A and B are shown apart, each in its own frame.
Chain A
Amino acid sequence: MERETLDVDVLVVGGGPAGLAAAYRLARLNAEQGGEPLMVAVLEKARAAGAHMLSGAVLDPSALTDLMPDWKSRGAPLDVPVRDDRIYFLTARRALPFPVTPPPLRNHGHYVVSLNRLAKWLAEQVEAAGVDVFTGFAGTELLYEGDRVVGVRTGDRGLDRHGERKGTFEPGVDIRARVTVLADGVRGNLTKTLIRRFGLDAGRSPQSYAIGIKELWDVDPDRLPAGSVIHTMGHPLRHEEFGGGFIYALPEGRLSVGFVAGLDYRDPLFDPHVAFQRFKRHPLVSNLLAGGQMVRYGAKALPEGGWHALPRCHADGALIAGDAAGFLNSMRLKGIHLAMRSGMHAADAAFRAVREGDVSGARLSEYARLVEEGPIRRELYPVRNVHQSFAGGLLAGLLYSGMSLVTGGWWFRDPMPSHAGHERTRTVKRYFGGGVPPEPPGVPIDRALTFDRLTNVHYSGTRHDEDQPSHLLVADTDICRTRCIEEYANPCTRFCPANVYEIVDADAGAGKRLQINASNCVHCKTCDIMDPYQIIDWVPPEGGGGPSYEGM
């Protein structure tokens, strides 16, 4: 098939903070260094810039200030400085405040933002600086010449559910680039293939992840002053589960209420959606939300492996930035500034490589040097074992987190051993000691404070053309109805926040089968990460499909 091609110097995949910072930096370098400007383009699968952004978010503005010192006069949506910072340990009924907020969790000088709005604004700055931002186009495969990445192919449009061409068929485009910067976010589909092909994670700790579920609420503005930041630990998670809740107050009574749960739980019946509902029913939270309105919902995974889990982030013709690589400080629940910083470093390395006409991995390894010598390592290295330490339980984790502040992160074994999260999930039999497994924990759904998955998904604004091939490729659906149902009781029906996976009666009474409601998908990537048999592959649906995270 003949495809259109487009040639650029640097292609950035992903219009999140990492990708947009990279693009903006490249445009600035063009302007500052003179000479023939580099052609730069950004590919973003969301229909509109920022529409797939879901974050907390408390923003550490350090990287933004270095990227764009005049962000204030350019109208950056950083309206609310953090004014008040609290941490609670929750028991089932009570909230015990931590007497002091440990220094790394202090948020003085930070801002409560909507990442959706921030990314939208940043995309405007990037476009004004002369970069083309192609929204509504997903990168589906990397293009290679030998072992060198030479660009990205975008997805075909107009295929029906059987993969046949509809009247609207349009083949994907080959965007050829001298350097491709992969900023495709957590568990990025292109980054995943690049890491596999070149074993970029060899010798590194396996990446670990968490899922974050969040709602925006409109409540009485007097409940919580704008700029308030609350974090919680404990209930409804048990000692063995990693995670916690957050409440960030935006102006005009808008609250960002979220819950993060480590995707390395042992209990196969654990259900992050239910955990989030239970969190909201805790008096600390329910009192804040009472009488309010849930206005938006979404979910997204985040990388939590930290420094030791970073893969090699350069290859011939390609760089990896942001969450795609795992530049996130899980102890502070912050990745935006590191994503931006890594995007800037990637831009610096890519710019010089293209100018010098050498885009080999060796030349692009300048990126690794910038990461090593700059603020990213300074921030991530000292907390390199924190997430792993929580594998020993909450108490061990807290102890270690406290200790690491003293020892600079050193521990008796460094790096601390860790496992891929999905390997920690136990079979029902093993977890429940062969006894009868209990009913998965439920939670009363009143559609005022608590919601079922489908109602929640409605508030994510998710849309896909339903007549297209499923973008969730399950290598072997027989496993679902034979082995998984017995061994793990189909955890996909619980860890997927969007009710994409259902186990339903097969036709003509032939047992059960897996039903995939692909068009529900909010692109959180949890299934790709957490399925115990690693047979689910998330690939991008037709460009433009997905959630619409207005204000998130």
Chain B
Amino acid sequence: MTLVIAEQRGGVLNPATWETLAAAQQMNAPVTAAVVGARVQDTAAELAAADVAEVLAVEHEALEPYTPDGFVAALAQVVEATGPERVLFPHTYQTRDHAPALAARLGRVLIPDCIGSKDRDGQRVFVRPMFQGKFVADVLPEGPAPHFASFQIGAYRADACVRGAAAATVREVAVQLDAAAIRQRPEAPFKEAKQAVDLTQAERIVAVGRGIKGQEHLPLAQELAKVLDAELAASRPICDSGWLPMDRQIGSSGQTVAPKLYLAVGISGAIQHLVGMKGARTIVAVNKDADAPIFEVADYGIVGDLFEVVPAIVAALDGD
């Protein structure tokens, strides 16, 4: 028997589950699906539409929210109670989180991230990419069954999962869990509050280079950006030193921007920087070296010491 572990979150079935069921159906063995959580009756019923022998609903209060300890303990019991030949997962983040621990707990092998499987002389061989997909390996699991494998998302088509003539039976499976033995205390899921700096959308950009000399002088550039209502950006040495985050780097290994105004302060204008900003409509450069290549692309150039020029610009603009 092939046991497929479905993935659900808050009652919503992860569609990759259907793909893994499709993989399982092609293995010439009866398929059982199991879904784990605190309230899984609805998802279990949904799964019963597939052509499977039965669906196991594994319910326990301690399984919500998801914790790797909880899932490993519950799944270990399900596997031991049902004795499958193999256990398959969709290769999701959750699977990556608990399947290795489950396999280790049971002392079985896990073959992650498979893209196929085949029968070789009656033995089930798993196919998985290696070397970033340059190479495909046939992996023959060793050791006693069940063998664990996870399937890469997209390796099978969800609609390749054969539907049953009638709904499969859903069986509830009780598991013993000790809530105190669960070591993780998950917090509410959060979305990273990414500070939205999308330099490609900025109308005006003040970019600062190594001419600024030290991190302690950055406020000078920040002030200039503020009075111009511009975003602050930089050349590579500034970001490389960690004075500004890397997503503010302009150039061939950073962002390519085309604002209305690009004001380059203390930037020499190396080609790797130019390719990231030469599409700007108006380019203004402040540099004390009249031969700096930045002046070749600048519409307006100020040859001078930025520590004099910038405060003067700020003062002039602040005046209005």
Please report A residues at the B interface, Cβ cutoff 8 Å: 4, 6, 132, 134-137, 173, 447, 454-455, 458, 463, 466-467, 504-505, 507-508, 515, 517, 519
Contact = CB atoms under 8 A, between A and B. Distances in A.
A132 B214 contact: no
Contacts of B252: 458
Given A458-B252, A507-B214, A137 B131 contact: yes
A504 B240 CA distance: 13
Contact of A134 (B135, B137, B293): B135
A458 B246 CA distance: 20
Given A458-B252, A467-B246, A4 B215 contact: no
Contacts of B270: 454-455
B130 A136 contact: no
Nearest to A520: B272
B214 A508 contact: yes
Nearest to A543: B132
B271 A136 contact: no
Interface of A is mostly: mixed
Given A458-B252, A467-B246, A519-B253, A136 B214 contact: no
B253 A463 contact: yes
Contact of B131 (A134, A454, A463, A467): A134
B246 A132 contact: no
Contacts, number: 40
A458 B272 contact: yes
B128 to A, nearest CB: 10
B183 interface: no
19 contacts: A132-B135, A134-B131, A134-B135, A136-B131, A173-B130, A173-B131, A458-B252, A458-B271, A458-B272, A458-B275, A463-B253, A466-B236, A466-B240, A467-B246, A504-B210, A507-B214, A508-B214, A515-B237, A517-B236
B253 A466 contact: yes
Nearest to A43: B131
B130 A507 contact: no
A235 to B, nearest CB: 27
B249 to A, nearest CB: 8
B134 interface: yes
B191 interface: no
Given A447-B293, A454-B272, A455-B271, 15 more contacts: A4-B130, A132-B135, A135-B134, A136-B134, A137-B131, A454-B270, A454-B271, A458-B252, A458-B271, A458-B272, A466-B240, A466-B246, A466-B253, A505-B213, A507-B214
Contacts of A517: 236, 240
Contact of B132 (A136, A447, A455, A519): A136
A466 B235 CA distance: 13
Contacts of A136: 131-132, 134
Nearest to B210: A504
